[in-house]
Amino acid sequence: MAKKNNDKPTVTEATPQPPKFTVEQLRKNALELFGVTASTFEGAVYGFKGEFTVQEMKNHIEKWLKKEVK
């Protein structure tokens, strides 16, 4: 015989999403946020538009810095 579960479903709080910022906003604080100069930031985000979280941009910059120069 199947056992009935009379427990009420628990309500879980939604995980707050980190805020997103424009490239221009992130550029202003590149040294403090990512540890890179403005010129390095410019090279890493060339052609970027839209909004990004600090972590998304940090991941992109780190990947860009490791990219092999051709």
Residue 4 has pLDDT above 90, yes or no: no
What pLDDT is stored for residue 61 in this prediction?
97
Listed residue (26, 16, 15) closest to 51, CA to CA:
26
Q: Enumerate the domain spans of the chain.
A: 21-66
Q: Which amino acid is at 22?
A: T
pTM, rounded to two decimals: 0.73
pLDDT at 25: 95
Output phi, psi for 51, to 5 deg: -125, 145
Most distant CA pair in the chain, distance:
69
- What tens digit of pLDDT does each residue of 36-64 get? 999 999 999 999 999 999 999 999 999 99
